[in-house]
Chains A and B, each alone.
Chain A
């Protein structure tokens, strides 16, 4: 079949990447259209277009300020029809959104008309984000810097300035923050309560805060610092400042700190600061060595996010007479009992598999959840788990688009999100990958994390559920029973509702566990056969 590629350049026209994606998706649904892209003509996007076979000479000469619409189609007339439609699609977006209300273009302009503004949420492309963050800080705004691709030097300079001026600089790459019980970015509807969380891991903060909420424990603040904060170069500037603030905050009784393993010198700084107050402080350096942590009286180490939430909840409920670490025993007993029942469940499920089905496939939208699962699998599985975001470099997945043996894929990694929305917003990528795994005769268990809440897709369970049903049918047609295990990160008060999301998934045939940790444990036990 011959393909026609047609492109249209609109000079100096800017739209944000999400609306461009939505427009591209509308275009690709049109008759006769095989593929469509609507992107700014940056070098990165040009190489994506080249790979998709959509790079025309016209596009090659476009500048990063130009908008490119590219369509490949079965015939010229279909392509022309699509290009004509695009004007309308883009215009629809601009007119309905702005109905006569003036929108400021600059932070300074916005502040002139809204002097009470106190927080900026910045999600523009990384190369512009630093300047915007400086503007916001200069005007005394706290900043949630959602954007990625901010240089380490810029991050350090921004954070030093923030520290010296009593401001929060949350990020870069901070997806989640809960400030004064307002969810900024990806976050959930949480009750108010005595726990103050500081996290260098976005979905880690979501997982712990929602697990607390399900136990009736609320938070004062949930401050995301961005994933690089605890690197040696940044030195944990923002985590240290946030800890101090929560230690001084009379409404915060218990502190919870979450991160992937920090640099050793930063661990020391954090522990010193944690011991500067009597407030019980639960620390989860996910997958890290917790020996040094356990030596400090008011510090309670946690190995997983789940354990972190249980210890925090226990700490809160034992207040005010909490003796540090008294929670260890009770929580461990509880976990042991829960693990025993997971083993039994795994044993039953394992019977459904045929001998070719040997591998585990984890398809994650949350980076920290992918990481937590690997931490758990390390103890359960004899063979390595390959990943595009591995615990150790030797288990790096050679090709992120193809699974190899046991595989954990973080679909929120940059390699997947350039030019398309995050998998928490858009399920398309995960749907395609899920069917790909289902077709693989070696796949035994497919594990999913389903993150709901503000910022997330309005109904991920329905889209994923439909795909799971399709995958199960596909497996059965080849005489295989596929096992789907998932957990939902969310609360009942979230717009998508925890119970509604859970039951939709269950109806589709997914086994829904009470935490990402439990889901990982169950999946691991099924494929390892270590259920007993």
Chain B
């Protein structure tokens, strides 16, 4: 057992909590001092340590973080949404974020829904599509209710091909569509012939080619490993996927070449992936989903396993309450805009891509991606500060995802609702910005913080279990 005497004769390192003068007089003696930037907690924030039935929250969180870390997300194949996604049917459309009815859907989501119905051949034009929805012919459901995730509007319709990720440690699967690229695209609410033509090509050319190639790879492609490697190449795998996309091409390249007879088709596929730095996003997201879902259902945990937005609401769910959404209005993104667009054109925060932050990368790992700050008008120092700040609200650190600039420290992992409330620090999110009207598409990119209300409501609920 530890004894008081153990400290005698040891070098001291002092953590100073409070008056700066106290820190100074110790450091004046040549002793190492870690001076906290202490601020008082908000009034009425108690320290939660155990549930009413006596379950230790720390122990529960330890289990959750351990499960997330042990997850192995592997791309094992592809399939058509209606055939592979549990609960999917011919008149169902999945969307990003917490549940939402048509009347409250934001512009980009409405655009994506109408576009998807036209792509599916269920409607000829927007008017028809809207009428179909209003007649109650379409069932909406969040991706997260079907082990799936979708970037931005996150719309998945029955005919869309999806990647199938398997968590090899726990056996659960996660699903996500293929990424269309930037600009006027369905997931940003873009509509029009070029949007549908691209989606069709992805269904009839891209998907079969990728699928054929994957079938020749018995072990699939280890996406978790690609994320870890990309993080050493300047990606955080949410808003920057450039290195990861290249790594993916390297991983699938030989199999693609071997299983394709037509070199021109192959060249178009390689070009498509190469020209879309975000191709990998639709792999990094379901990888996160596959790893997080395995941690759900741990009693007493205060860790967030879902953070998602539908463009109207922001919602979170906890490992200990995986069925319950805590929602708040989606926030405004601070960002840089493409020419001709301004803040006034922006839709509130949208998409399931916050699964990356939830799983310990994305905004959590900004220090790994100094170039990302070009998106948001900051400096590389700011990126480092952001990651360091995130350690304050995460329960653990990832052992597999490490940050070179922080001496290969693991990324902040496991957003703890208690720590968010105690410190007042809200999770950092990196994201794209959609135009608020249906049919326009992407207009910029930026950063923001998750809304406090989700966390304060979840905290209150935790105080009652």
Q: Does A125 touch B at the CB level, under 8 Å? A: yes
B22 contacts A121, C-beta separation under 8 Å: yes
Q: Please state if B18 and A122 are interface contacts (CB–CB under 8 Å).
A: yes
For the complex formed, measure the closest distance between the CB of A420 and the CB atoms of chain B, giving whole angstroms: 13
B12 proximal to A (CB < 8 A): yes
Which residues of B sit under 8 angstroms from A104, Cβ to Cβ? 34, 36-37, 388, 391-392
Is B4 an interface residue, CB under 8 A from the partner? yes
Chain A proximity of B4: nearest CB distance (Å) = 4
A105 x B17 contact (CB < 8 A)? no
CB–CB A425/B21 < 8 A: yes
| Contact status B43-A65, CB under 8 Å | yes
C-alpha gap A246/B232 in the complex (Å): 50
Inter-subunit contact B15/A110 (CB<8 Å): yes
Are A185 and B22 in contact, CB atoms less than 8 angstroms apart? yes
Instruction: Give the docked Cα–Cα distance between A131 and B1 (Å).
Output: 24
Query: Closest 10 interchain pairs by CB?
Result: A123-B18, A166-B2, A103-B37, A454-B25, A245-B4, A102-B388, A124-B18, A109-B392, A117-B13, A166-B3
Do the beta carbons of A168 and B18 come within 8 Å of each other?
no
A65 touches B389 (CB 8 A): no
Beyond known contacts A106-B392, A180-B9: 12 more, CB 8 A cutoff: A103-B35, A104-B388, A111-B15, A113-B34, A119-B12, A120-B16, A123-B19, A132-B17, A166-B6, A167-B4, A241-B4, A249-B5
User: A133-141, A281-289, A325-333: which lies at the B interface?
Assistant: A133-141
Shortest distance in angstroms between B13's beta carbon and chain A's nearest beta carbon? 4
Complex: A142 Cα to B11 Cα, angstroms: 13
Q: Chain B residues near A249 (CB, 8 Å)?
A: 5, 8
Contact residues, A202-261 vs B (CB, 8 A): 220-221, 241-242, 244-245, 248-249, 251
The one of A18, A119, A166, A167 in contact with B14, judged by C-beta atoms closer than 8 angstroms, is A119
Contacts of A113 in B (CB 8 A): 34, 388, 391, 409
Among the 9-residue stretches B63-71, B279-287, B418-426, the one with 4 or more Cβ atoms under 8 Å from chain A is B418-426
User: Which of B3, B6, B34, B47 is within 8 Å of A110, CB to CB?
Assistant: B34
User: How many A residues touch the partner, as a band?
Assistant: 35 or more
- Write the residues of chain A forming the contact surface with B, with a CB cutoff of 8 angstroms: 14, 16-19, 63-65, 97-98, 100, 102-114, 116-125, 128, 131-132, 134, 136, 140-142, 146-147, 165-168, 179-180, 182-185, 189, 220-221, 241-242, 244-245, 248-249, 251, 425, 454-455, 495
The answer on a CB contact under 8 Å between B18 and A16 is: yes
Give Cα A127–Cα B100 distance, bound, in whole angstroms. 43
Query: Are the CB atoms of B3 and A245 closer together than 8 Å?
Result: yes
Knowing A103-B36, A112-B397, A182-B29, say if A16 contacts B19 (CB, 8 Å): yes
B26:A121 contact, CB within 8 angstroms: yes
User: Are A124 and B391 neighbours in the complex by a CB distance under 8 Å?
Assistant: no
Query: How far is B11's CA from A132's CA once the two chains are assembled, in angstroms?
Result: 23
A346 to chain B, nearest CB (A): 37
Interface string of B159-201 (1 = CB under 8 A from A): 0000000000000000000000000000000000000000000
Q: Nearest chain-B residue to A128 (Cβ)?
A: B40
| Size bracket, chain B contacts | 35 or more
Q: Is B261 an interface residue (CB 8 A)?
A: no
Pairwise interchain contact A105-B36, C-beta atoms closer than 8 A: yes
Partner of B47, one of A103, A131, A180: A131
Contact A102 B389 (CB under 8 A): yes
Q: How far is the CA of A120 from the CA of B12 in the complex (A)?
A: 10
Given the interface pairs A167-B2, A182-B29, the reply to whether A119 lies near B15 with Cβ below 8 Å is: yes
Assembly CA distance A162 to B145 (angstroms): 47
CA distance A251 to B25 in the complex (A): 26
Known: A14-B39, A105-B36, A105-B423. A121 touches B2 (CB 8 A): no
Q: Decide: B29 and A454 in contact? CB cutoff 8 A.
A: yes
Q: Which residues of A contact B18 (CB under 8 A)?
A: 16, 121-124, 146-147
B residues in contact (CB < 8 Å) with A: 1-23, 25-26, 28-29, 31-32, 34-43, 47, 381, 384-385, 388-389, 391-392, 397, 409, 419, 422-423, 425
Contact A220 B40 (CB under 8 A): no
Task: Return A492 CB to nearest CB of chain B, in Å.
Answer: 16
Using Cβ atoms and an 8 Å threshold, which residues of chain B touch A14?
Answer: 39-40
Cross-interface CB contact of A184 among B5, B14, B17, cutoff 8 Å: B14
Q: Hey, which chain B residues are within 8 Å of A107, CB to CB?
A: 15, 17, 36
21 A-B contacts (beta carbon < 8 Å): A102-B385, A103-B36, A104-B391, A110-B36, A113-B391, A114-B15, A116-B13, A121-B18, A123-B17, A123-B18, A124-B18, A124-B40, A128-B41, A140-B2, A147-B18, A168-B7, A180-B11, A184-B22, A189-B29, A248-B3, A454-B25
A365 CB → nearest B CB, Å: 15
Q: How far is the CA of A248 from the CA of B4 in the complex (A)?
A: 10
Whether the pair A123, B422 counts as a contact (CB closer than 8 A) is no
Contacts of B381 in A (CB 8 A): 100
Nearest-neighbor residue (CB-CB) of B23 within chain A: A121
> Which residues of chain A have C-beta atoms less than 8 A from B422's C-beta?
106
A221 to B9, CA, bound (A): 10
**Most chain A beta-carbon contacts within 10 A, residue among B4, B31, B43:** B4
B20 interface neighbour in A19, A119, A120, A131, Cβ under 8 Å = A19
Q: Which of A118, A122, A245 is close to B10, meaning CB atoms less than 8 Å apart?
A: A118
- Chain B residues near A105: list those with CB within 8 A: 36-39, 392, 423, 425
Q: Which residues of B contact A242 (CB under 8 A)?
A: 4
Cα distance, A245 to B5, chains bound together (Å): 6
Question: Which of A118, A136, A425 lies in contact with B12, CB distance below 8 A?
Answer: A118
Contacts of A128 in B (CB 8 A): 40-41
User: Complex formed: what's the CA distance from A221 to B5 in Å?
Assistant: 11
Chain B residues with CB under 8 Å of A168's CB are 4, 7
Residues of B near A119 (CB, < 8 A) are: 7, 12-15
Q: Note all chain B residues with C-beta closer than 8 A to A102.
A: 384-385, 388-389
Between A100, A108, A134, A189, the greatest number of chain B beta carbons within 10 A of the residue's beta carbon is seen for A108
Do residues A455 and B25 form an inter-chain contact, with CB atoms below 8 A? yes
Chain A neighbourhood of B21, CB < 8 A: 18, 425, 455
Contacts of A179 in B (CB 8 A): 7, 12
Asked if B8 and A221 sit within 8 Å, CB to CB, the answer is yes
A166 to B392 Cα, complex, angstroms: 27
Closest to B425 in A: A105
Are A117 and B15 in contact, CB atoms less than 8 angstroms apart?
Answer: yes
B329 to chain A, nearest CB (A): 20
- For residue B440, give the distance in angstroms from its CB to the closest CB of chain A: 37
Are A106 and B6 touching (Cβ within 8 A)?
no
CA distance A166 to B18 in the complex (A): 24
Closest Cβ of chain A: how far from B387's Cβ, in Å? 9
Whether the Cβ atoms of B17 and A122 lie closer than 8 Å is yes
Q: How far is the CA of A111 from the CA of B23 in the complex (A)?
A: 16
Do residues B8 and A180 form an inter-chain contact, with CB atoms below 8 A? yes
Q: Choose from B7, B13, B419 the contact partner of A114 (Cβ within 8 Å).
A: B13
Residue of A114, A134, A147 with most chain B CB atoms under a 10 A cut-off:
A114
How far apart sit A136 and B34, CA to CA, in the bound complex (Å)?
13
B397: A residues at CB distance < 8 A: 112
Quick check: A65 and B26 within 8 Å, CB to CB? no
Which of A113, A147, A189 has the most B CB atoms < 10 Å from its CB? Answer: A113
Which of chain A's residues have a CB closer than 8 A to the CB of B28? Answer: 454, 495
* Minimum distance in angstroms from A22 CB to a CB of chain B: 10
Q: A112-B397, A166-B6 are in contact. Are A182 and B15 (CB under 8 A)?
A: no
